Amino acid sequence: MRNIETTWQAERRAEARRQPKRAGPTRLAWAALLAITLAAQQAPVGNPPQAADANARFQANANLVIETVSVTDKSGKPIVGLTAKDFTVTEDGVAQTVSFCEYQTLDETPIAPAAPPAGPSPAAGPAPVEKPKIEPVTRNQIAPERPGDIRYRNHRLMVLYFDMGAMPPQDQARAQAAALKFLQKQMTPSDLVSIMSFSDGVHVLDDFTDDRDELEKTVNKLFIGEGQGFDETNNDDSAADYGTAFGEDDSEFNLFNTDRQLAALQTAVQMLGSLNEKKVLVYFASGLQLNGVDNQAQFQATTNAAIRANVSFFTIDARGLVAMAPLGDASRGSPGGLGMYSGASALAATGNFQKSQDTLHALAADTGGKALLDNNDLSVGIVEAQKAISDYYIIGYYSANLNLDGRYRRIKIAVNRDLSAKLDFRQGYWAKKQFSKFTTAEKERQLQEALMLGDPITELTIASEVDYFQLNSAEYFVPMVIKIPGSELALARRGGADHTLIDFIGEVKDEYNVTVGNVRDKVDIKLTGETAAQLSRQPIQYDTALTLLPGTYTLKLLARDDETGRIGTYMNRFVIPNLNKEQQRIPISSVVLSGQRVDLKDAVFSAKDKDKSGATNPLIQDGQKLIPSVNRVFSKSRDLFVYLQAYQRGATATQPLIAFVTFYRGQTKAFETPPLAVAAAMDNKLKTAPLRFSLSLNKLQPGRYNCQVTVLDPGGQRAAFWQAPVLLVP
């Protein structure tokens, strides 16, 4: 029997490995799996494949849609015990078959307050020097979910959103204190909280996490006084009289300022739209006033985006309970004209205050949330948002509409046996879209979302090598080489394209998950003439470099073929040792094995040298670059190049070194180079001694070997050894 596998099957197996087994959904899932597998096996009967196609492969694409549904009775209590048969689901009016249904219970017990931190130890040394901050390439983003992923099961998702431009400093401090109170005393194990702020743009300060300490640090870092300069000024009888000449009406500035705040909210909920679950966004602001009908279009766009993203606004007036003086308080000038005597000024001030609260109420009411107004305990509003998401059902179905048109699909869910039940669920979702129809913004967002996914994407094959060379007493030059088989791009050539772009995006993080470097680049590959003929035989290469300190790092890098949209992920941990602490052996750099040198002008199979560190690349000599062999497979017909550096830090004069390369096959020495004596070194404090070898491999038999590089210091009676497996081919 041929190996018949569906995309859906692969996704379900991966999901089953990540999630704990549950009896109900597992039986349903296996039943659906069996049905689809049988359908795939029976499909070829009417159209048998050609005899020459011995490796036929059939695929069935399915769009798994996950919905979280809260079901309550008339009194607001959750209804339990429902099964998949109790739900009716339609998508754009077409009935769908519910494949699985699972009830999720949330833990409502508050987390115990953390113990106060211990004071600094008298024996503790000086505080470490803070490293310069490197902005990640995925900042201002919420990590998306892969199709069918239910990583947030048994949790509620809450966003604390601080509109710093809509609050004076005293209200910012009050909102900050309320958020800290919630995190310290009222947060439960079921809560996953994200922190967002808006001043010059929407910033995701923390993705959804239950790390209370990290959340508290983020809230404490909010800069009180940030985002000022966009305050509303009224032009009615309540306006202060500064005795100046008549100028432009400020209402136009108020119009754009309100649109700016509403557009920022729309951006925030669109980020959250990539998550299937119900979300609540707690919006801290000192009121938000619409200016007649001029802001209605943006207001409607914001509420529509929130409904489509399954987000409810819980708005909090950070001003609390306000007692207004008839003619204003001491923070502003007195109004002028007859209005201050007739009461028109006091009436206008009260009306403006009421309008600013009406907008907060409308935002909450139109999206299924609540508004907290005239209350000095702002944390009450956060608790109301917390209570809005109680126990819920996770139901899933496979959409009957397989068109990749990117359109919005409306969902309706009903309970069959209790028509009075109240349901809260996502009203729809955006269908997948063909890559060829993506806009530039959609392509960029796809890359960033793919980088933030926990699971790798393996549509492209990627191999990489990370090396290190010491620059000075603290820093290391770290070149990175990424290779993609040229045959992977043959699909674009068959599609008639004359060139294709390879997008690269990646991050390097330290052991504390802090971004210390990033990669964002493109390689333009020509697919015409001689280049196209070589494409299936040679790899596409990209190289870049960073300057890092000693430590343990994680590299995550993605490559995408911009013609077909195929993506590949490379993930690896690497260590840069502190060679200054090496006392017993000779400190050496990484050993680079290479089977080719390329001219720097060659832009076909290699990206241009874009060294972000500013340091000199030691792999470049005389206008040619040494290309590290990532897979360490070498041909007997070509020479092997070996390069490394040895360091003699602190030496008053360069000590002569001896180095040689040995090939072992099992326990037998198959080949060894004559000793290479090195007496000269670079004129630097490290006394860097470059070691270069060029070996002819034509005398060795094809097969697997262990390549060993030995460096000896006869005067200091020290040595260094490096060994790695290699493969020789004819």
Specify the CATH number for the domain of residue 468: 2.60.40.10
In the predicted model, what is the mean pLDDT of residues 311-330?
Answer: 80
CB 179 within 8 A of CB 219: yes
Same domain assignment for residues 431 and 556: no
Encoding tokens for residue 275?
A: 């998550």
Encoding tokens for residue 211?
A: 């790390």
Give the C-alpha separation, 151 to 104, whole Å: 12
In the predicted model, what is the mean pLDDT of residues 244-262?
Answer: 59
Same domain assignment for residues 195 and 61: no
Pairing of strands 279-285, 156-163: parallel
pLDDT tens profile 369-423? 899 998 999 999 999 999 888 888 989 899 988 888 888 889 999 998 777 788 8
What is the per-residue pLDDT for 413? 93
Same domain assignment for residues 404 and 365: no
On the question of pLDDT at 162 being above 80, the answer is yes
Give the C-alpha separation, 19 to 454, whole Å: 14
On the question of pLDDT at 21 being above 60, the answer is no
> Is 460 inside any structural domain?
yes
CB atoms within 10 A of CB 111: 16
> Of 532, 562, 578, which residue constitutes the final position of a domain?
578
> Is 66 inside any structural domain?
yes
What is the per-residue pLDDT for 723? 93
Strand spans (E) along 227-310: 279-285
What is the per-residue pLDDT for 709? 94
> Is 245 inside any structural domain?
no
What is the per-residue pLDDT for 446? 84
Burial 521-542 (b: 16+ CB within 10 A, else e): eebebebeeebbeebeeebbbb
Domain count for the chain: 3
> 288: number of CA atoms within 13 Å, CB side?
30
> Is 304 inside any structural domain?
yes
> Is 602 inside any structural domain?
no
Same domain assignment for residues 313 and 399: no
> Is 649 inside any structural domain?
no
Residue 216 identity (one-letter amino acid): E
In the predicted model, what is the mean pLDDT of residues 609-614?
Answer: 44
pLDDT band at 10 (very low <50, low <70, confident <90, very high): very low
On the question of pLDDT at 647 being above 80, the answer is yes
Residue 118, Ramachandran bin (φ over 0: left; ψ between -120 and 50: alpha; else beta): beta
501: buried, middle or exposed (CB in 10 Å: 19+, 13-18, 0-12)?
middle
> 515: number of CA atoms within 13 Å, CB side?
14
On the question of pLDDT at 686 being above 90, the answer is no
pLDDT tens profile 511-535? 888 889 888 888 887 766 666 666 6
> Of 549, 578, 607, which residue constitutes the final position of a domain?
578
On the question of pLDDT at 237 being above 50, the answer is no
Higher pLDDT, 411 or 232: 411
Length of the chain: 730
Same domain assignment for residues 13 and 84: yes
On the question of pLDDT at 208 being above 60, the answer is yes
Encoding tokens for residue 572?
A: 């690896």
Same domain assignment for residues 290 and 381: yes
Pairing of strands 633-635, 191-198: unpaired
Domain that holds residue 62: 7-45+57-107+392-435
263: buried, middle or exposed (CB in 10 Å: 19+, 13-18, 0-12)?
middle
Out of 316-320, 498-502, 537-541, 681-685, the most confident range is: 316-320
What is the per-residue pLDDT for 160? 95
Give the CATH number for residue 254.
3.40.50.410
CB 171 within 8 A of CB 319: yes
Same domain assignment for residues 302 and 356: yes
> 561: number of CA atoms within 13 Å, CB side?
27
> Is 682 inside any structural domain?
no
Same domain assignment for residues 88 and 169: no
pLDDT band at 606 (very low <50, low <70, confident <90, very high): very low
Give the C-alpha separation, 39 to 67, whole Å: 26
Same domain assignment for residues 423 and 440: no
User: For tokens 């995190």, what's the residue?
Assistant: 183
CA dihedral of 536, 643, 726, 546, whole degrees rounded to 10: -60
What is the per-residue pLDDT for 603? 41
Burial 199-208 (b: 16+ CB within 10 A, else e): beebebbbeb
Same domain assignment for residues 93 and 191: no
On the question of pLDDT at 313 being above 90, the answer is yes
Measured in whole angstroms, the distance separating CA 656 from the mean position of its chain's CA atoms is 49
| Per-chain mean pLDDT for the chain | 78
Give the C-alpha separation, 19 to 15, whole Å: 6
Higher pLDDT, 180 or 631: 180
Same domain assignment for residues 455 and 403: no
Same domain assignment for residues 404 and 443: no
CB atoms within 10 A of CB 232: 18
507: buried, middle or exposed (CB in 10 Å: 19+, 13-18, 0-12)?
buried
> Of 543, 578, 613, which residue constitutes the final position of a domain?
578
> Is 375 inside any structural domain?
yes
The sign of the CA dihedral 149, 151, 156, 160 is negative
pLDDT tens profile 451-476? 877 778 888 888 889 999 999 888 99
Helices and strands, counts by H and E, the chain = 12, 34
Which of the residue ranges 59-73, 275-289, 542-556, 640-654 would you say has the lowest mean pLDDT? 59-73
The sign of the CA dihedral 249, 253, 259, 265 is negative
